[in-house]
Structure 1
Amino acid sequence: MTYRKDQIAAFESYVQKIMDAYEAPGLAVALAEHGKVTYQQNFGTRDQAAGTAVDGQTIFGLASVTKSFTALAIMQLAEQGLLSLNDPVTRYLPEFKLAQGQPADAITIHHLITHTAGFPPLPALDYCIRANTTPDEDESAERETSEYPSVNTMPELLDYIATGDYQMLGQAGEFFSYSNDCYGLLGEIIERVSGQPYTEYVQQHILQPLGMQRSMFTMQELQQFDNVTELYYRNGQDELIHSPNWQVAPPFTACGWLKSCADDLIKYAQMYANGGEYAGQRLLSEQGVKQMQQVTLEFNQGRKYGYGLIVKQDYAGVTLVEHGGSLKGVSSNMGFAPEKGIAAIVLCNLTGVPVAKIWLALINLALGLPIEQHYVDYSPCGWTADMRESVMGEYSSGEGAEFQIEQDEAGELTVKAPVGTFKLQPIGPNRAIWRYKLAENEMRFLFDETGKAWAIHAGGRVIRRVPGRPSPATDKRSAK
């Protein structure tokens, strides 16, 4: 498949526009159709100071793209009859308990893999990263004065889940709320069922069959490779910071700690586009790949979550299946369009770059659509004064996300987010968006029986209103 020169020029101009807006140092993309790489390009540098260019072998972090590997491993074990997605978690993790005596028996592997177990955003991953990662200079003082529980091993994670100060969002299957803790637990289930360490299982049953020779999990493995990107992020003053310190979080390996390169990751994406097979190696049955795409509850932008994959149905007549990731020095996206045999990947070495837009632009390139076409077109609408009043307040999560929704002097809603204060534009009876640079950030409001918002759904998470600012009049909740 060849693409018109003007299409490629439009795509590369769009990539450069995004990189310029976010000051992204380096980025790699690859696109394949029907088992053949049809376009691959690299932009910028893996090391700004040295001026070293990115290439297809440059190793980047994948962050939460790792979740799709974990889901694939679970599906492989299910196809071997070693577990069932409907099995309760306690069958494999008998010590799995919830805090404050909340019932855990109804939570199944299906609930973990679809982020529908009912967990609110928890701080356990942040505690673990802080304890195991060498701090950067601007983090050192904060680390020295902070106190937090030890969540550095799987037994400690299970203990935190059993004793932490949190309330579940609802019954298992009732709410979608993105949970790194769920995928940490899935990694432990894989270990106990397979009899192998999680990292060894993925190496033997996924990476090696696909020939992904520059993909690995641990820092010890990473140090054996050259052509590894440096890491970049923006601090609280919006300054671009270089970090030599990869984040480490041992019990959360299965949720976000795989590292890879464009040449490797496009093979993995093609395996899905080919129905579970690549280069003569079958990793999962066609039916198993289809099962991974069966959707549950809404993620955002009209997309729903399957098994370690996010699905947008009927985009220009095709299904889009993907997963993204974000950690310090990592913005990533991988996915495919099964009906067309299209696979695409994007890797970047700066946190917070909207690489899902670049990934979608690759899909648009393959489909012959306008390069900048979006998942969904937002149409502004008006809210009544009562509706505006019902959502105003402060919302906060255990992961540290904080949003303050207020009304300005002109009667317009604003949202104070971690990166600034922005206009909040209603786009439906329970939805609004705010824009930062080139990204649209969607908020969905969850209302109680009095019509007051008790939580927002943002970034895939259910984030509760802070009590008393104001709080819902009742705890009987229903999502509108």
Structure 2
Amino acid sequence: MAGTMGHRLAELIAEYEVPGAALAYLHGGELHEFAAGVLNVDTGVPVTPDSIFQIGSVSKVWTATMLVQLAEQGALTLDTPVAELLPEFRVADPDVTKAVTVRHLLSHTSGIDGDLFLDTGRGDDCVEKYVQACADLAQNHPLGATQSYCNSGFVVAGRILEKLAGKCWDDVLHERIVEPLGLTHTWTLPEDVLRFRAAMGHMDGKPAPAWGLMRAMGPAGLICARPADVVAFARAHLEGGLLEDPQAMWEPQVDIPNPHTLGRQWGIGWILDEWDGQRIISHGGNTIGQHAMLWAVPGTGTIVCVTANGGHSGAFTHALATELFAELDGLTVPPTLAPPATPVEVDATRYAGVYERAGAHLTVSAGDGGLRLRMEATGALAALDEPQEFPLVPVDETTFVGRVPGDPAWISAVFYELADGSPYMHLGARATPKTS
């Protein structure tokens, strides 16, 4: 496979309209690296294995790892209330302010509205200012009641690291992970990244209107790295080097209501799944026109990281993983959920309505043709994301799939209720309450 992977990578990026991609994988103790395409369609600079891409939310596993390090060292426990570590911390619900713990943050079970993207400046105090701005954040769901992806919670987690270390998150990252592992191509600030061959994100085939997110989002998603460095980070989780007991991060914390998107459960930082009886730990990341995926198989020692800078990147990384893991470990990557061969008749009118959370306004309408979903981004990133509307096809009584126009990938939505009967839709790893 290693001999043909470079050629196959080039074929796949062409098929999925990805400008450029880099791949690194560890198998049998040997590292393999490949690259294809260009970093920027306007400059034509080729991608090399050492090119740096934004790994987005894969950064969350790094932030979680550092907090688990502190737990192992006795500075906190995962069940320590955030307010004990950050007395200034506030959200809109005073009971949540008092009770939310580090574990809630790292397992996406806090219920805090998670998609507050806020520019609080470029200074070393940007994360501190972001946490101050969380005082008005409402709840997506009651504390611990379900799982909903929470960027905001990971910025708060990053602030805990800053407070205990007395330095900014970027410096804590270098001190606790980058330097101990000897990573040479892992950075967080653009002035450092531009010293290397750096990828530009693309949207609709053109360079994105902005290179990166606001600095305050660092702990949730601003690490930039070459794939080999990301593989080295994951290798330390399998073989040791960062934690006394890395497997503690693989313990399931919550079932994901929609298991068809990322995996079945969330651990501490890691997404958890099982393929052909093998435990899989993983995480993905998306920024402005960039995408990354990291998978590790503890039972075989295989680790794969792939990065991409646009196009149908989610479908691309899934196709690559499907081929690669079949070849390397004989594992079947679960196919993306798609419409059933035989249409399913479902009375779905009860799901019609408006579902809303920070960053998203979702409208489900019912008509003769079934359900339709309209997705509208709100907040700071709305200008980068045009509203999308498409039919939802039933798979069973609660599960539906649809496709954004022009995108080959199916996305899944699960309608469900909390223990108190509150109706929710789980889409894109996020729980969104029905508001009308």
TM class, shorter-length: 0.7 to 0.9
Indicate if the aligned counterparts of 2:121 and 2:216 stay in contact, CA closer than 8 A.
no
Gaps in structure 2 of 5+ consecutive residues: 377-386
Measured in 1, the distance between the counterparts of 2:419 and 2:106 equals 30
2:291 aligned residue (317, 331, 339): 331
Measured in 2, the distance between the counterparts of 1:319 and 1:100 equals 37
Measured in 2, the distance between the counterparts of 1:114 and 1:360 equals 27
1:415 aligns with 373
1:176 aligned residue (147, 171, 175): 147
2:413 aligns with 443
1:136 aligns with none
Distance 1:29 1:251, change over 3 A: same
Deviation of 1:366 (Å)? 1.3
Number of paired residues? 415
Tell me which amino acid in the other structure corresponds to 2:374: K
2:384 aligns with none
Deviation of 1:360 (Å)? 4.6
1:254 aligns with 219
Distance 1:244 1:60, change over 3 A: farther
1:36 aligned residue (30, 36, 58): 30
Measured in 2, the distance between the counterparts of 1:376 and 1:15 equals 26
Are residues 1:294 and 2:248 paired?
Answer: no
Measured in 2, the distance between the counterparts of 1:100 and 1:82 equals 27
1:51 aligned residue (29, 44, 49): 44
RMSD of equivalent CA atoms? 2.8
5 Å-filtered alignment, 1:72-471, equals 72-99=65-92, 101-122=94-115, 124-125=116-117, 127-128=118-119, 153-164=126-137, 166-170=138-142, 172-223=143-194, 225-234=195-204, 240-243=205-208, 245-274=210-239, 277=240, 282-285=241-244, 288-299=245-256, 300-301=259-260, 302-313=263-274, 315-350=275-310, 353-354=313-314, 356-357=317-318, 358-369=320-331, 374=335, 379=340, 382-385=344-347, 388-399=348-359, 401-409=360-368, 411-417=369-375, 420-436=388-404, 437-447=407-417, 454-467=423-436
Tell me which amino acid in the other structure corresponds to 2:130: L
Indicate if the aligned counterparts of 1:66 and 1:255 stay in contact, CA closer than 8 A.
yes
SS of the equivalent of 2:38 reads strand
- Provide the TM-score with structure 2 as the length reference: 0.86
Are residues 1:26 and 2:4 paired?
Answer: no
Indicate if the aligned counterparts of 1:330 and 1:351 stay in contact, CA closer than 8 A.
no
Larger Rg: 1
Instruction: Kindly provide the CA deviation profile for residues 40-67 of structure 1, in whole angstroms up to 9, marking residues without a partner as x.
Output: 3212111222322111110111111100
Tell me which amino acid in the other structure corresponds to 1:200: D
Instruction: Kindly provide the CA deviation profile for residues 136-174 of structure 1, in whole angstroms up to 9, marking residues without a partner as x.
Output: xxxxxxxxxxxxxxxx8344333332234x34511x221
Measured in 1, the distance between the counterparts of 2:200 and 2:419 equals 50
1:16 aligned residue (11, 17, 36): 11
- Provide the TM-score with structure 1 as the length reference: 0.79
Measured in 2, the distance between the counterparts of 1:76 and 1:51 equals 42
Measured in 2, the distance between the counterparts of 1:4 and 1:219 equals 32
Deviation of 1:79 (Å)? 1.1
Indicate if the aligned counterparts of 1:328 and 1:351 stay in contact, CA closer than 8 A.
no
SS of the equivalent of 1:374 reads coil
Tell me which amino acid in the other structure corresponds to 2:255: E
Gaps in structure 1 of 5+ consecutive residues: 134-151, 235-239, 468-480
SS of the equivalent of 2:98 reads coil
Deviation of 1:352 (Å)? 5.9
Kindly, what percent of the aligned residue pairs are identical? 22
Deviation of 1:364 (Å)? 2.6
Measured in 1, the distance between the counterparts of 2:227 and 2:41 equals 19
Deviation of 1:12 (Å)? 5.9
Tell me which amino acid in the other structure corresponds to 1:293: W
Deviation of 1:443 (Å)? 0.8
1:473 aligns with none
